[in-house]
Structure 1
Amino acid sequence: MMKKLTLLALAGLIVAGGANAAGDATAGKTKSATCVACHMTDGNSVNPIWPKLAGQHYDYLVKQLSDFRAGNRTDPTMAAMVAPLNDQDVLDLAAYFSSQTQAPGAANPDLVQQGEQIYTQGNPASGVAACTACHGASGLGMPQARFPRVGGQHPDYVKKQLNDFRAGVRGNDPNGMMRDVAMKLTDAEIEAVASYMAGLK
């Protein structure tokens, strides 16, 4: 599994290397007026079911917005929000939110030990790979490969995404990478690792 993740990471670096078209953060701030109801002005959502966009990688945000537009990632609310966007709008919004500073999160102390175990070492018995392979020890991700920043993210949002990957509801992960991981996680492991990620800085 680790070899597969390494090869996919390298492939992502190669593919993404020339894909960073220019976005205008100033224009993106103006265009973000329709986003603030859920994600707030600076991209730090206060509702734990909506993700923090502040400080997320530019290329990752471009991909997710593009996937929502194309129907490769589904959500009724987001489908309506991205419908009016053109390609430049996507780039500008990604430039704006990626330039913002993420507000720190906090882990549940009762779940730190189990969450750290899964995040840093995985679960060899069930074949779960360590999250650090793609998301890094501090949860900062790999921007060139479009692996997202997960450190400081709302645990409720992370839990939902892992459950959606596990159930096949979300399928816009490259080569099914996250689906392969999530399908091997138990409910308790998802709860713990999502909480642990929230406390990473």
Structure 2
Amino acid sequence: MNSLQQSLILSSFLAVFFTLPVLAADSAAGEQKASSCVSCHGQNGNSSSAQWPNLAAQQPTYLVNQLKTFKAGDRINIMMQSMTANLSNEDINNLAAYFSSQKPAKAGGDPALAKAGEAKAAMCLGCHGSTAQGNGQFPRLAGQHPKYLEQQLKAFKEGSRKGGPMQAITANLSEADFKALAAYFGSL
């Protein structure tokens, strides 16, 4: 068994383990807490700006992990570090339950680029789910803003964002690949 297979097995185990607290979370309490998220992430987690990601229908485990990473300062974003500083673990779980239960919107994407991206997307679907809906700790890509996805892929490639296999995957992708993949996932 190679290290990628071992990582995927471990990731699957951890996804199940870390999802358990989110399943017991209070979505209604999360909705109340989410009022401060709306100005960037949009009503019900559907952002109108490519600067901020859509949170609607995002994987709850992924949301919990990211909020905790921002809070701990392991993922750097001044606004998000400020927003998460006073959140309890219960607040984080409730926010994740709320946003993960919301109906997602399509962000769109250039149709020609999306067609090119579809041909390259298979390498992403093993972790991110067969329809890019996300999978435990791996985020939903479907319907995400293409520009946002491009920025994240660049950050992984440059190393300013850490993510295990993502550094290895993005190392062999061009900026044209980033644009095509982002357009495809945004169109789903």
TM-score tier, shorter chain, comes to: over 0.9
- TM-score of the two chains, using structure 2 as the length reference: 0.92
Q: 1:64 aligns with which of 58, 61, 66?
A: 66
Identity rate, percent: 39
> Any gaps of 5 or more consecutive residues in structure 2?
none
In 2, distance between residues paired with 1:199 and 1:81? Answer: 30
The CA deviation string for residues 84-103 of structure 1, in whole angstroms up to 9 with x for no partner, is 21111111111110110101
CA RMSD of aligned residues (A): 1.6
The 1:112–1:16 alpha-carbon spacing in structure 2 relative to 1, beyond 3 Å, is closer
In 2, distance between residues paired with 1:6 and 1:116? Answer: 24
- Secondary structure class of the residue paired with 2:17: coil
2:60/2:97 contact within 8 Å kept: yes
Residue aligning to 2:132:
139
The CA deviation string for residues 104-133 of structure 1, in whole angstroms up to 9 with x for no partner, is 23231121232112112xxxxxxxxx1122
2:30/2:96 contact within 8 Å kept: yes
2:179 equivalent to 1:180? no
- TM-score of the two chains, using structure 1 as the length reference: 0.87
In 1, distance between residues paired with 2:75 and 2:32? Answer: 25
Q: Which amino acid aligns with 1:27?
A: A
1:24/1:92 contact within 8 Å kept: yes
Residue aligning to 1:190:
178
Residue aligning to 2:14:
15
> Any gaps of 5 or more consecutive residues in structure 1?
121-129
In 2, distance between residues paired with 1:6 and 1:56? Answer: 24
Residue aligning to 1:127:
none
Structure 1 residue 179: Cα displacement: 1.1
Structure 1 residue 147: Cα displacement: 1.0
Q: 1:166 aligns with which of 153, 157, 160?
A: 157
In 2, distance between residues paired with 1:112 and 1:91? Answer: 34
1:134/1:147 contact within 8 Å kept: yes
2:142 equivalent to 1:151? yes
Q: Which amino acid aligns with 1:90?
A: I
Structure 1 residue 4: Cα displacement: 4.4
Residue aligning to 1:79:
81
- Secondary structure class of the residue paired with 1:17: helix
Matches within 5 A, 1:110-125: 110-120=112-122
In 1, distance between residues paired with 2:94 and 2:177? Answer: 36
